[in-house]
Copies of this chain bind each other. A is one copy, B any other.
């Protein structure tokens, strides 16, 4: 098992130029006053594809040798990772096969297809996506792009942290965590920052993992409005980084996330999906002392449907 370092993140930053974009650090007077700190919002909702996932997918595809990449790539995802891999594959002009549950939201199936990817659907109850993936990979020789437990994916997500470091030196970083690709990548990129991981209340495997010293799983069926933060468990590589670097794990409730989405609308003028607003919710309601500090929060994405968004505005 190779655990990436900040050197890998720096290489990733060079590789993804022209594929992923540099996102702005947004400031807001109201937010500074509310937090009692200098707050910088890393607006990954403005990333290509609407979420940070583009960074890791771009780095993973760019790192493949041209011969291997030409045989295509494969991913399992019903969300932002699917769109990211399809977009990166389109950039390189190679085939992407995305294995998605047949009952995934139609908009996500359509978006992935519109990017030119082949979408293979499966029945969540009767079929194994791993078996389908192994079969497809064997037939086509396509490379599997994992969503988080991969050194190149972690290093790619970490470029968000590297961009922060080029502009400010944050004391504290709030970052959403589930599989751990973004949160550990950012931790690598910002070795002097205190890392606060944010996860949905009750779906608190990371808090339990760090307490137990061994990877814990979430019980099946636990839901949260944060649909991007419902990974069953961390990966081995992400855990190896998290155990050393996460200072604390903050849990956020659905209502706190909705309030943060509403604040992002009124104050920041940014559209955040629930998972993307989790770090803002943790800053404002998580009980972490940030007084007088320089704080970065990663607003990880903005892919939200109108109904969910309107629900947050009506909180």
Shortest distance from the beta carbon of A289 to any chain B beta carbon, whole Å: 25
Q: Does chain B have a CB within 8 A of A79?
A: no
Task: Name A's interface SS.
Answer: helix
Given contacts A26-B46, A270-B271, A271-B271, contact A265 B309 (CB under 8 A): yes
Given contacts A269-B302, A306-B314, A313-B309, contact A24 B48 (CB under 8 A): no
Shortest distance from the beta carbon of A224 to any chain B beta carbon, whole Å: 21
* Chain B residues, Cβ within 8 Å of A265: 271, 306, 309
* Chain B residues, Cβ within 8 Å of A24: 23-24, 46
Q: Does chain B have a CB within 8 A of A87?
A: yes
User: Contacting A21 at CB < 8 Å: which of B21, B27, B87?
Assistant: B27
The answer to whether A45 touches B269 (Cβ under 8 A) is yes
* Chain B residues, Cβ within 8 Å of A309: 265, 313
Count this chain's copies in the assembly. Answer: 2
Q: Which of A266-302 contact B (CB under 8 A)?
A: 266, 268-272, 302
Question: Once bound together, how far apart are the Cα atoms of A27 and B50, in whole Å?
Answer: 11
Shortest distance from the beta carbon of A10 to any chain B beta carbon, whole Å: 23
* Chain B residues, Cβ within 8 Å of A48: 27, 29
Question: Once bound together, how far apart are the Cα atoms of A10 and B9, in whole Å?
Answer: 37
The answer to whether B29 touches A87 (Cβ under 8 A) is yes
Question: Once bound together, how far apart are the Cα atoms of A265 and B23, in whole Å?
Answer: 17
Shortest distance from the beta carbon of A296 to any chain B beta carbon, whole Å: 16
Shortest distance from the beta carbon of A39 to any chain B beta carbon, whole Å: 14
14 additional A-B pairs beyond A269-B272, A270-B271, beta carbons within 8 Å, are A23-B24, A24-B24, A24-B46, A26-B46, A29-B87, A45-B269, A50-B269, A265-B309, A269-B270, A269-B271, A269-B302, A271-B271, A306-B313, A310-B310
The 6 closest A-B pairs by CB, nearest first: A269-B302, A45-B269, A24-B24, A269-B271, A306-B313, A310-B310
